[in-house]
A and B are shown apart, each in its own frame.
Chain A
Amino acid sequence: MKKILVIEDNPMVIKSLEFKLTKDGNNVVIAHDGREAMKQLKENEFDLILTDLMLPFVTGNELISHIKKDTPNTPIIVLSTSTQEAIIMEAFNMGVDDFITKPFSPNELSLRVKRLLSKN
């Protein structure tokens, strides 16, 4: 069972992601903000991280650079409402593996997660 950290502050999105990813056979851990995510990252190891960019306390970008420094091989998928090219480019330059914009298709997201998990 793969362990996925979902960092998101929208309760509806959290529930949907948790539901879908658990149904796909993953162990899903939720962090509601950047600080909680940092704590989880310190205590656990994850096979994949799914994060929003706009987060309370610690921003998504800070979080990504932290993850890339500590565990550079952990794949990261960004799930964000932002469609601005500059923001997407910046995320990819920081080393994220995939960028999904909201509104998102849960089936598509599930496929992308599976693809990244099988790669690693």
Chain B
Amino acid sequence: MMNFNIYAFNFLWQDLPWVIKLIIIFISIFLISAVCFFIAILWIRIYKIYRNKKKREQQLLLIDFLNSFIFDEDFDKELEIQNFKKDHLKSSLEIKVTIKEILHFHENLKGESATELEYLFKRLGLIDFTLRDLNKGSWFTTARAINALSELSIEVPIHKIDPYLNESRNEVRQQSQLYFLKLSVSNPLQFLDKTVRPLTTWQQIYIENALKNFYKGEAPDFSQWLYHDLLSVVEFSIRMVARYNQFEHIDKILPFLEHENDIIKCEAIKSLTLLEYQELSPLISPNFNSRPRILKLEILDAIKAQGIYEDLQKIGEQILPTDWEFRIKYLNIEQGFAPDKKDQIYSQFIMEKKLGI
């Protein structure tokens, strides 16, 4: 019967014109692709539902397990750890969910409970899994693994994290920087010596934030990175000297007022203003008009913050009458210096504007 059908099909097929044959082939390819596509979508959906179900089950199990582990004095910790390892840490999904939940708990708890979670992480053997993740290749797996280690303050040999300080992905670099910062005892920014890629603005913010919130030791001497090869590190160090009130380094910041890079000059002005360096105005006032816009703005802000009226007037003499942006800024600052002349300054400004001076 089968042979006959194939024979009949061959017979019919040979008699068909080539255009029809081509159409049939295309339709068949399209139908097969559509069916395959549909099956693939269906399979992905089913797999996702199954995965989410398993994930939810593991999460529920972990909430109970972790709460009992932390709060229940009658809980036989060692025995339960062994049982949990044997029964609920078999697949990669179970391990991933467990790491995520422990991190989630750790994020919300502190003190003894947080220490208990760190201990549990080690006892469940999750460090090995995290270290395996480090070398998996995809940047997000690496970043996640380093994040887990730093969040739980787990020390691993330095050479395991060191290479990621100069990774091409910002996220991985950031996580490794935070790792060194959070786990350091004495010199939290030592990793800057090994950094060869510029610090992004976000990295600078994260480092500053981590220094304030996680590092418990003595503040480092930020002047040691003032002559770093990377301008972003220099900029960050100048800022930190001021943020941490390291007045003793004012002399080291002064040369940066003449730096070739305008951003560094701006940062130096900002920091010296913050450090209330009284001799700043005479250093920044000359040649105001020939300076780039960002520097002019920074200089005016510095004078506004800690200069005297005479300093401002010296700058005012240099501003061109047609330079409206800086004239307006100047007049606004002048109002602060001479509140009694406020009306006079305002009417002068209106008059000048009318006359187009």
Contact = CB atoms under 8 A, between A and B. Distances in A.
Interface of A: 10-13, 15-16, 19-20, 23, 102-108
Contacts of A15: 63-64, 67
Interface string B110-124: 111110000000000
B71 A104 contact: no
B108 interface: yes
B337 interface: no
Nearest to A16: B67
Contacts of A13: 108
7 contacts: A12-B104, A15-B64, A20-B71, A102-B108, A103-B109, A103-B114, A105-B112
B225 interface: no
B105 interface: yes
B113 A11 contact: no
Nearest to A21: B71
A73 B114 CA distance: 34
A104 B112 contact: no
B113 A105 contact: yes
B52 to A, nearest CB: 16
Contacts of B63: 11-12, 15
State the majority secondary structure of interface residues on B. helix
B56 to A, nearest CB: 11
Contact of B111 (A10, A16, A107): A107
Given A11-B63, A23-B71, A106-B71, A16 B108 contact: yes
Q: How large is the interface on B (under 10, 10 to 19, 20 to 34, 35 or more residues)?
A: 10 to 19
Contact of A103 (B67, B72, B110): B110
A114 to B, nearest CB: 15
Contacts of B105: 12, 16
Given A12-B63, A19-B71, A103 B112 contact: no
B57 interface: no
B110 A104 contact: yes
Interface in B51-82: 63-64, 67-68, 70-72
Contacts of B101: 12
Given A11-B63, A12-B63, A15-B67, A106 B72 contact: no
Contacts of A11: 63
B258 interface: no
B310 interface: no
Given A11-B63, A12-B63, A15-B63, A103 B71 contact: no
B113 A107 contact: yes
Interface in B108-149: 108-114
A103 B107 contact: yes
Nearest to B109: A103
A16 B107 CA distance: 13
Greatest chain B CB density within 10 A among A20, A102, A103, A108 is at: A103
A101 B72 CA distance: 23
A57 to B, nearest CB: 22
Contact of B67 (A10, A19, A107, A108): A19
